[in-house]
């Protein structure tokens, strides 16, 4: 069953160059206990989409269209007070991009975890903290350490523990493995997989690294220039990505057996000045006349949905 769903969500940033359309009419859903990925290159709008869905967007960013349903309630319509009291962190939690460096340097990890619990009127004893750290495979001794005494992987786990401290139903993690070595990256993904199962939570994982999440996520969205270009079960996607952008994204991933990284020539279009038609056209090896003219809607292709005039 669908737990969290954005429908026709559009988010803009007013700038001196005009409105940057960071997220443009995006439909995205997360089911109960589902593990879903969002992939796409830097600037695609992944973080903005996640922040918008969790009401964590800060000005000048603003939602200009669409709704975000959680258990069927449009959370964008709630008052700040209602949302803060009944939803933020207690139902919908987020591990921010770069959150590893989000701890206050002068307090121990334990005291920062306790503060979050106490702020929400929860029990904040040593044993609660110990259990919380255990959930993310961290030793109890971490509680008395300062953030600079932890490795990057340990800090990321501690931040995940903080996000889980109020027992949310949804955990959104934005690039949780960036700046970590490959072995630690894999352990963080495995941790998220285990937490999803053991705690029965839904996980939305944002990344630019398709190879890393290929085994973990059940379903995947690929974003390009503010829009979703492909969506479907991982099994179908990784067997044969359909959108030329997804294909490029996969061949841009280095592998151990090949030292050839193809990449995608060109750049993302200016989001303040989007061309009509498909935004990938200038970089697409299969571009046709129609692509320059008309924006392709998402259409069913096999078990997936793809926004491309090739289909």
Ligand X SMILES: Nc1ncnc2c1ncn2[C@@H]1O[C@H](COP(=O)(O)OP(=O)(O)OP(=O)(O)O)[C@@H](O)[C@H]1O
Closest approach of Cβ 10 to Mg ion, in Å? 18
Residue 62 makes contact with ligand X by CB under 6 A: no
Measured CA to CA, the distance from residue 86 to residue 82 in angstroms comes to: 6
Closest approach of Cβ 280 to ligand X, in Å? 15
Which position among 3, 9, 22, 216 is part of the footprint of ligand X (CB under 6 A)? 22
Measured CA to CA, the distance from residue 24 to residue 121 in angstroms comes to: 38
Contact flags string 81-120 toward ligand X, x per CB under 6 A: ----------------x-----------------------
Q: Which of 163, 52, 193 is nearest to 100 (CA)?
A: 163
Which position among 130, 208, 209, 298 is part of the footprint of ligand X (CB under 6 A)? 208
CA 197, 198, 201, 205: dihedral to nearest 10 degrees? -60
271 binds, among ligand X, Mg ion, none (CB under 5 to 8 A by kind): ligand X
Cβ-count burial 135-167 (b if 16+ within 10 Å, e if not): bbebeeebbeeebeebebbbbbbbbbbbbbbbe
Residue 269 makes contact with ligand X by CB under 6 A: no
CA contacts within 13 A on the Cβ side of 120:
21
Residue 254: how many other CB atoms lie within 10 Å: 10
For residues 142 and 163, which CB has a smaller minimum distance to Mg ion in the complex?
163
Closest approach of Cβ 3 to ligand X, in Å? 22
Binding site for Mg ion (CB under 5 A): 47, 97
Q: Which of 306, 130, 146 is nearest to 230 (CA)?
A: 306
43 binds, among ligand X, Mg ion, none (CB under 5 to 8 A by kind): ligand X
Site for ligand X in 32-61 (CB under 6 A): 40, 42-48, 61
* Helix 109-119 / helix 126-135 crossing angle, nearest 10 deg: 110
Residue 173 makes contact with ligand X by CB under 6 A: no
Structure tokens, 19 = 């409105």
Chain-centroid distance, C-alpha 108: 28
For residues 60 and 300, which CB has a smaller minimum distance to ligand X in the complex?
60
For residues 22 and 94, which CB has a smaller minimum distance to ligand X in the complex?
22
For residues 94 and 142, which CB has a smaller minimum distance to ligand X in the complex?
94
- Name the site residues for ligand X (rule: CB under 6 A): 13, 15, 20, 22, 40, 42-48, 61, 97, 208, 271
């Amino acid at each position: 069953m669908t737990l969290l769903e954005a429908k026709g969500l559009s988010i803009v940033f007013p700038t001196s160059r005009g409105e940057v359309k960071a997220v443009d009419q995006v439909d995205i859903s997360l089911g109960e206990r589902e593990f879903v990925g969002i992939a796409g290159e830097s600037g695609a709008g992944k973080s903005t989409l996640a922040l918008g869905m969790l009401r964590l967007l800060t000005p000048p960013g603003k939602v200009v269209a669409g709704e975000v349903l959680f258990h069927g309630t449009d959370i964008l319509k709630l008052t700040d007070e209602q949302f803060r009291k009944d939803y933020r962190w207690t139902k919908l939690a987020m591990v921010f991009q770069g959150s590893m460096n989000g701890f206050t340097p002068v307090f121990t990890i334990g005291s920062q975890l306790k503060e979050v619990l106490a702020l929400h009127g929860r029990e904040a004893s040593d044993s609660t903290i110990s259990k919380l750290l255990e959930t993310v495979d961290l030793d109890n001794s971490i509680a008395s350490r300062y953030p600079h005494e932890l490795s990057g992987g340990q800090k990321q786990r501690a931040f995940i523990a903080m996000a889980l401290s109020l027992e949310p139903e949804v955990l959104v993690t934005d690039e949780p493995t960036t700046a970590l070595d490959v072995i630690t990256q894999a352990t963080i993904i495995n941790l998220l997989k285990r937490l999803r199962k053991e705690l029965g939570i839904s996980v939305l994982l944002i990344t630019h690294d398709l190879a890393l999440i290929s085994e973990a996520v059940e379903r995947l969205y690929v974003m390009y220039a503010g829009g979703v270009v492909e969506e479907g079960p991982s099994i179908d996607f990784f067997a044969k990505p359909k959108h030329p952008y997804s294909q490029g994204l996969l061949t841009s991933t280095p592998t151990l057996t090949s030292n050839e990284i193809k990449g995608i020539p060109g750049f993302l279009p200016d989001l303040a000045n989007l061309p009509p038609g498909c935004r990938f056209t200038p970089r697409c090896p299969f571009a046709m006349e129609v692509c320059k003219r008309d924006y392709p809607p998402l259409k069913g292709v096999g078990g997936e949905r793809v926004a491309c005039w090739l289909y």
